[in-house]
Amino acid sequence: MDKNNFRKKCLDKIKKRANRSSIVVDKIICNILYKNIKKRNSKVIMLYIPLKIEVDIKPLILRLRREGRTILVPFMEGESFRLVKYRLPLKRKKFGIKETKYSNQYIKRDIDISIVPILGRDSTNRRVGFGKGMYDRFFDNTKYNIKKVIFISRLNCVSSKVITNSYDIKANLIIYGK
């Protein structure tokens, strides 16, 4: 099976499972993430603003902001993105993705943890995402020092074959639901 077919298969599985049980799975994943963040005493965290089929981390974002941690989110720019501080209000943009309205780039270079949504992964723990390559381009060209990368998904969708490329990003930790 090639990467595109695997991506479609994972996307179909995730869409079929998107129901009330997703709320419970999302909450469990957020709690595990929070424990990881707290254990590492992380101050600067790269997150994302979730789509409906991704793990809803909005409660985690609110909790971390209340604690005074710096939350960075992607701001789409051409074929990739740059990181900006999470600020309200959010505005719906390209691909139906919500983004922060204000877009001053984050200048400091150290990021303690990066939380990245995935559709699936292969046996090398490399990411299979939505097929736009935005995270791959960002990580390939980044000047940030990212200490730990965590992949999250509602479903553990794994290919036993190597279907990713060398430029696909790799995780230090993977957290998934059922």
Q: pLDDT above 90 covers what percent of the chain?
A: 43
What DSSP string describes 125-149? -BEE-SSS-HHHHHHHH--SEE--E
Total domains in the fold of the chain? 1
Burial class (CB in 10 A: 0-12, 13-18, 19+), 15: exposed
For residue 127, give the amino acid letter: R
23-42: per-residue pLDDT in tens?
A: 889 999 999 999 999 999 99
What DSSP string describes 24-38? HHHHHHHHHHHHHHH
- Which residues span the domain enclosing 43? 3-176
CATH of the domain at 116: 3.40.50.10420
111-159: per-residue pLDDT in tens?
A: 999 999 999 998 898 998 887 778 888 887 776 688 999 999 999 999 9
Q: Lowest mean pLDDT: which of 64-78, 97-111, 114-128, 159-173?
A: 97-111
